[in-house]
Chains A and B, each alone.
Chain A
Amino acid sequence: MIEIKKCSKKFGKHEVLQNINLSFHKGECIALIGPNGCGKTTLIKSILGMVIPDSGSVEFNNKSIFGDYLYRENIGYMPQIGRYPDNMTIGQIIEMIKKIRNSEQALDEDLINAFELEKMFLKQMRTLSGGTTQKVSAALAFLFNPDVLILDEPTAGLDPLASEILKDKIIREKEKGKLILITSHLLSELDDLVTEIIFMQDGKVHFHKKVADLKSETNESKISKSIAKILKNKGNE
């Protein structure tokens, strides 16, 4: 579904992405993990066309995304730090995106209801706490029933109740056969979500494995422990 070939990107002298080759398919739930500044968000932004790679290609359903924009109809994106126009209210933002999309599809308002956002529709964006902004971002990402969900640190800043709601929602969408891409530092949260793991370091893909393979190779039952084991082994080499 998404194919990334030989992607490289430099910010000044710093090579953020170095020759990345990855492919994602329908029904997968992929965790993108790695230390801070390893290029996770840049990778996501290049899939969305917000960052333009210096070389290489990104394909969505076998079509290059460069110069295309309609493919974004199939993507729901939840940014790490949602930034919204300050003087608009939650209601206005949601209304505006609906108008801009102008889609006739049935809307998925599960999260708006579950997070009880209607009660806060009249609140201005600048008055919101970080967690509430995250709830708005999440609600917007799921609103149009996209085939692909890209979630950048979805549970960071959410209270335990809200993050549980979001996790349930992600699992339900995964079961519908959607492609879900998550970046996170909370490995323990990923256990019941993901089917594949991509570990990035210094702009390179360190490994891309199925969770089941990873666990059997390391004889561990938790993702966090298997990753730790791999990193430790690598350090000893």
Chain B
Amino acid sequence: MNRIIKIILLDILKNKIVLTYALIMALLSWSSFALEDNSSKGLLAILNIILFTVPLVSILFSTIYIYNSAEFIELLLSQPIKRIKIWLSLFFGLSISMVLAFGVGAGIPLLINAPDSIGLMMVVVGSLISVIFVALAFLSSIITRDKAKGIGIAIMTWLYFALIFDGMVLFLLFQFQEYPIENAMVGITALSPIDLARIQILLHLDISAMMGYTGAIFKDFFGTSTGLVASFLLLCLWAIIPFYISLKKFKNKDL
């Protein structure tokens, strides 16, 4: 397995896109901290950047990379290698490189400028988000053989989680504002990894005091250590379940 992961990692590093991504993340993070006068504001700016760009780059790059590896996968399949191993190696290769790029780009400035639990949490959450969207890329690329369709599905997935889901939640909030839906809202956030990550971090910043009654309910759940563990577990599930489904499908795929 390690040999194949190594080959894939070297191939991704040769491809300059990941390096450019790390560079842009570094540029954005350093400038956010330089522009804001306190680190809390800088963190908020970076949070928005992370939750917007990291999922997009992770899912798009991974989907295209998987489609371009079709020949590589075919070549390996005629060799004495387990099918699962090929798919796992691809997943680890892509996850490691995306997490590395995020760590180098955004992780270092975060840990230097906000060397506390929030800074560390941002790094962990950002890495998890990278892995989750790599896993979603595997799912979208196994669904169809058509490259254009697969990339389309990947973009739609990103759009849904980054924009549409929030819109739907807001709509629900306004429609049902007369009812006590605060507890249900906690449940609904679990349906989107991006929202899960956002709320998790917002609650640890000072601005959570301004979020009103819903904020208090959120704090009641996510603020406790059980809530923290639960939301991290949920994030892990968001990475494991899509990849597991894609692995099952890959095992029975005709090539």
B37 within 8 A of A: no
Complex: how many Å from CA A75 to CA B14?
Answer: 32
Which of chain A's residues 32-77 have a Cβ closer than 8 Å to chain B? 45, 48-52, 69-73, 75, 77
Query: Given contacts A49-B77, A51-B254, A101-B80, is CB(A83)–CB(B3) below 8 Å?
Result: no
B70 to chain A: closest residue by CB: A83
B116: chain A residues at CB < 8 Å are none
Task: List, in ascending order, chain A residues with CB within 8 A of B77's CB.
Answer: 48-50
Q: Is the CB of A52 within 8 A of B254?
A: yes
CA distance A85 to B65 in the complex (A): 11
Taking a contact as CB atoms under 8 Å apart, the answer to whether B79 and A97 are in contact is: yes
Residue of B nearest to A103 (CB): B80
Q: With A and B bound together, what is the CA distance between A84 and B254 in angstroms?
A: 18
Q: Which residue of the partner chain B has the closest CB to A101?
A: B79
Cβ of B78 < 8 Å from any Cβ of A?
Answer: yes
Give the residues in chain A near B11, CB-CB below 8 Å.
Answer: 85, 87
What mask results when residues 66 to 78 of chain B are scored 1 for a CB within 8 Å of chain A, else 0?
0011111011111
Contact A72 B79 (CB under 8 A): yes
B77: nearest chain-A partner, CB-CB: A50
The reply to whether B3 and A69 form a contact with Cβ atoms under 8 Å apart is: no
B residues 54-90 in Cβ contact with A at 8 Å? 68-72, 74-83
Main secondary structure of the interface of A (DSSP, over half): mixed
Q: Report chain A residues within 8 Å CB of B255.
A: 45, 50-51
Q: Name the interface residues of A92-111: CB closer than 8 Å to any CB of B.
A: 93, 96-97, 99-102
Chain B residues near A100 (CB, 8 Å)? Answer: 3-4, 7, 76, 79, 81
The residue that A85 contacts in the complex, of B4, B75, B78, with Cβ under 8 A, is B75
How far does the Cβ of A104 sit from chain B's closest Cβ, in whole Å? 14
A52 CA to B254 CA in the complex, in Å? 6
- In the assembled complex, how far is the CB of residue A138 from the closest CB belonging to chain B, in whole angstroms? 13
Contacting pair B70 A79 (CB below 8 A):
no
Which of chain B's residues 223-255 have a Cβ closer than 8 Å to chain A?
A: 252, 254-255
Q: Tell me whether A70 and B78 are in contact in the complex, defined as CB-CB below 8 angstroms, given that A99-B3, A102-B3 are known contacts.
A: no
Q: How many residues of B contact A (CB 8 A)?
A: 23
Q: Which of B3, B72, B78, B80 contacts A50 (CB 8 A)?
A: B78
Nearest to A92 among chain B residues (CB) is B7
Distance, CA A49 to CA B86, complexed state (A): 14
Q: How far is the CA of A73 from the CA of B82 in the complex (A)?
A: 12
Q: Check A48 against B76 for contact (C-beta < 8 Å).
A: no
Give the distance to chain B from A198, nearest Cβ to Cβ, in Å: 21
Chain A residue nearest in CB terms to B72:
A85
Cβ of A126 to closest chain B Cβ, rounded Å: 10
- Shortest CB–CB separation between residue A130 and chain B, in angstroms? 15
Least CB distance from B172 to A in Å reads 41
Chain B residues closer than 8 Å to A75, beta-carbon distance: 78
Pairwise interchain contact A77-B78, C-beta atoms closer than 8 A = yes
Task: Please measure, in the bound complex, the distance between the C-alpha atom of A81 and the C-alpha atom of B255, giving whole angstroms.
Answer: 13
Contacts of B81 in A (CB 8 A): 69, 72, 100
Complex interface: chain B residues within 8 A of A45 (CB): 254-255
CA distance A45 to B208 in the complex (A): 59
Shortest beta-carbon distance, A25 to chain B, in Å?
22
Determine the distance from Cα of A52 to Cα of B251 in the docked complex, in whole angstroms. 9
CB distance from A57 to the nearest CB of B (A): 16
Q: How far is the CA of A83 from the CA of B4 in the complex (A)?
A: 18
Cβ contact within 8 Å between B75 and A84: yes
B80/A72 in contact, CB under 8 A: yes
In the complex, which residues of chain B have a beta carbon less than 8 angstroms from the beta carbon of A50? Answer: 74, 77-78, 254-255
Knowing A50-B255, A99-B3, the reply to whether A70 touches B71 (Cβ < 8 A) is: no
Contact of B74 among A69, A73, A83, A96 (CB under 8 A): A83
- Which of B's residues lie within 8 Å of A, judged by CB? 3-4, 7, 11, 14, 68-72, 74-83, 252, 254-255
Contacts A85-B11, A86-B71 known; list 5 others, CB within 8 Å.
A50-B74, A51-B255, A52-B252, A75-B78, A85-B75
Across the A-B interface, give the 4 residue pairs with the lowest CB-CB distance, nearest first. Answer: A83-B71, A72-B80, A73-B80, A77-B78
A residues with CB within 8 A of B: 11, 45, 48-52, 69-73, 75, 77, 79, 83-87, 93, 96-97, 99-102
Could you name 19 residue pairs across A and B whose Cβ atoms are closer than 8 Å?
A45-B254, A49-B77, A50-B254, A50-B255, A51-B254, A51-B255, A52-B252, A69-B83, A72-B80, A73-B80, A75-B78, A79-B78, A84-B72, A86-B68, A86-B71, A99-B7, A100-B4, A100-B7, A100-B76
